[in-house]
Structure 1
Amino acid sequence: MRLGIISALHEEQQGLMEAMQGATTLSHGMRDYTLGLLWNIDAVCVLSRIGKVAAAMTATLLVEKFGVTHIVFTGVAGSGDKLVKVGDIVVAEALLQHDMDARPLFPRFEVPLTGLQRFASDLPLSEQLAGAADDFLRSDARLVLDPLEIQAFGLQQPRVHRGLIASGDQFIGSAAHVNQLKAAIPDLLAVEMEGAAVAQVCFELGVPYAVMRTVSDNANEEAAVDFMRFVQSVASRYAFGTIRNLCWRLAS
């Protein structure tokens, strides 16, 4: 196994580079790929930047140039369901592009010439990722989070959810918009800007993948408030702890 770990923002991989043994960094396509051992797993960490095209290019290069055999995407998302709260983790069972609409040639959300609206994540890898996330929330979260941040963001009882994540090249920042998406996609759990692009690339290249998203906001008018504070003080610790637990699971 060579595990590719993608994040859109630097803060979402905070600490991973430092934890990597024998790290070397190679630059290609305006991205830095850091290779080494993460808790005894051969890994490559890279920042994709934001958006579907950036994420698709990054995933493709991980496979074609760096020989990655499995991909995990970590990052943040807006809630797409009332039961999914800030500080919860969503591990994707499937992903779709909510801004894909080639009607009347193809049904809404269907990626043309694939016959698919939804791309299923790899079940074994996703189960390992969800278990790693659950271990982190139950055993480690309160040890690594500042009590003031737990209080500020209401992180008293975070949960792991499994289900559908939707991606699009839009920051969802209005309740009306997320309600429209929910009406069209009733089982939607979270919205973000990269995962479904990685999913399509991995589907077409035959590479197992999983996506983890820490819910940073409710995708409404308050979505941008304290966003970077949450990424730096909460989501970065979620990602580090979960990836560490995942590597331990994969290496055992």
Structure 2
Amino acid sequence: MSRIAIVSAMHEELRALLPALEKPQRAEFAGRQFHFGQMQGQPVVMVLSGIGKVAAATTAALLLQEIDVQRIIFTGAAGGLGTGVRVGDVVIARELLQHDMDASPLFPRFEVPLTGRSRFGTDRDLSDSLAAAALHCLNHAAERIGETHLADFGIDSPLLHEGLVISGDRFVATAAESDTLRAALPDALAVEMEGAALAQVCADFGRPFAVIRTVSDRADDSAHVDFNRFIAEVASVYTREILGTWLSGRVD
């Protein structure tokens, strides 16, 4: 049975997942702790990548080369960009792009030099099954987290979105920055700091991957408000429930 990698960018998410790991064992590569075991009877490895594109790329390369995982799932938070993408919603990436890649005029803006492409697609089957699990969990979000708790973050009837997620090595935290990104990439649903780097590495290795993001803010001037609390109390719960549902096959 092939091992699945679950990668988190932040400590809070990894800490929420580790208690679900059965028969845990650890190994270290390049300063990273890799946690091996089973989740819902499936062999998995969990790891903290760290924040940013280089950290994500290094972690992905280690998983694929040193551990030989067959599938990678990246989880974390993102800023919402698309119309109707609200705090508490979940975005399943179908494509990823580096919004800060610009080698023009040698290459078109956003294109990764020498690849001929700017967008890297996720695995369709893997993303489809995770989307089904995410929709199931969102439909039961009030049961898992509590209506009052969700209301504390202004979350009401969270939705699932699927499409383009963009990545860059900066935390987008002003309305001016998010407006600029929307103008350049009008189909972008969300912005984060790791997914497109993971996508490029997985494309090089020819391995399937998926990216799940919980929308923590609208990538504007309020993006820093209660961010860490949101990760610990909402995003990490979503991640644990979605992955547990997906691995168990319990989808309505």
TM over 0.5: yes
Separation in structure 2 between the aligned mates of residue 145 and residue 44 of structure 1, nearest angstrom: 26
Deviation at 1:10, TM superposition (A): 1.2
1:17 aligns with 2:18: yes
The letter for the 2-side match of 1:173 is A
Is contact 1:165-1:190 (8 Å) kept?
A: yes
1:115 aligns with 2:116: yes
Deviation at 1:15, TM superposition (A): 3.1
1:157 aligned counterpart, secondary structure: coil
**Percent of aligned pairs with the same amino acid:** 48
TM-score of the two chains, using structure 2 as the length reference: 0.97
Deviation at 1:148, TM superposition (A): 3.4
Residue 176 of structure 1 corresponds to 176
Deviation at 1:113, TM superposition (A): 0.6
* Unpaired runs of at least 5, structure 2: none
Separation in structure 1 between the aligned mates of residue 126 and residue 23 of structure 2, nearest angstrom: 25
Is contact 1:74-1:212 (8 Å) kept?
A: yes
The letter for the 2-side match of 1:64 is Q
Map 1:189-228 to 2 at 5 A.
189-228=189-228
Deviation at 1:159, TM superposition (A): 0.6
Separation in structure 1 between the aligned mates of residue 76 and residue 223 of structure 2, nearest angstrom: 15
Residue 30 of structure 2 corresponds to 29
Residue 65 of structure 2 corresponds to 64
Deviation at 1:146, TM superposition (A): 3.9
The letter for the 2-side match of 1:138 is N
Separation in structure 2 between the aligned mates of residue 202 and residue 70 of structure 1, nearest angstrom: 9
The letter for the 2-side match of 1:238 is Y
Residue 107 of structure 2 corresponds to 106
Separation in structure 1 between the aligned mates of residue 148 and residue 219 of structure 2, nearest angstrom: 23
The letter for the 2-side match of 1:159 is L
The letter for the 2-side match of 1:114 is T
Deviation at 1:41, TM superposition (A): 1.1
The letter for the 1-side match of 2:87 is V
Separation in structure 1 between the aligned mates of residue 74 and residue 108 of structure 2, nearest angstrom: 27
1:163 aligns with 2:160: no
2:176 aligned counterpart, secondary structure: helix
Residue 249 of structure 2 corresponds to 249
2:203 aligned counterpart, secondary structure: helix
Separation in structure 2 between the aligned mates of residue 67 and residue 79 of structure 1, nearest angstrom: 33
Residue 94 of structure 2 corresponds to 93
Provide the aligned length of Structure 1 versus Structure 2: 249
Separation in structure 2 between the aligned mates of residue 200 and residue 108 of structure 1, nearest angstrom: 16
CA RMSD of aligned residues (A): 1.1
Separation in structure 2 between the aligned mates of residue 221 and residue 206 of structure 1, nearest angstrom: 38
Is contact 1:77-1:214 (8 Å) kept?
A: yes
The letter for the 2-side match of 1:249 is G
Deviation at 1:245, TM superposition (A): 1.0
TM-score of the two chains, using structure 1 as the length reference: 0.97
* Unpaired runs of at least 5, structure 1: none
